[in-house]
Amino acid sequence: DAKTTQPNSMESNEEEPVHLPCNHSTISGTDYIHWYRQLPSQGPEYVIHGLTSNVNNRMASLAIAEDRKSSTLILHRATLRDAAVYYCIPGDMRFGAGTRLTVKP
């Protein structure tokens, strides 16, 4: 299983972009990179996933390094509702500790 490294916590100001990094240097060639987030007192929710190319959806963008050993989740304009724990998951179902994002008004 690929091991992941994410910062324990990050802070952002409202309406500013946020870049959440993740290192997954042991990822295998066929593992997708998934991001989920967990809002306070809720179950996790899907954010985005990708394999090699950068991906965009209505919630976020995912930038994947060319060697696939790292990725970055980009929230283009953070809102207070984006305050959550963000999990980077290479492969299957292995949630780590994630990054707790705090958004300041």
3-state secondary structure 33-53: EEEEEECCCCCCEEEEEECCC
Pairing mode of beta strands 99-104, 55-56:
unpaired
Instruction: Please name the amino acid found at residue 58.
Output: R
The 18-37 contact track toward another protein, x by CB under 8 A, reads ----------x-xxx-x---
Q: Which stretch binds another protein (CB under 8 A): 5-13, 52-60, 69-77, 90-98?
A: 90-98
Q: Do 24 and 69 meet the contact criterion of CB atoms below 8 Å apart?
A: yes
Q: Rounded to whole angstroms, how far apart are CA atoms 42 and 81?
A: 13
Q: Is 43 in the site for another protein (CB under 8 A)?
A: yes
The 49-68 contact track toward another protein, x by CB under 8 A, reads x-------------------
How many residues belong to the site for another protein (CB under 8 A)?
22
Q: Which residues make up the interface to another protein (CB under 8 A)? A: 28, 30-32, 34, 38, 42-46, 49, 87, 89, 91-98
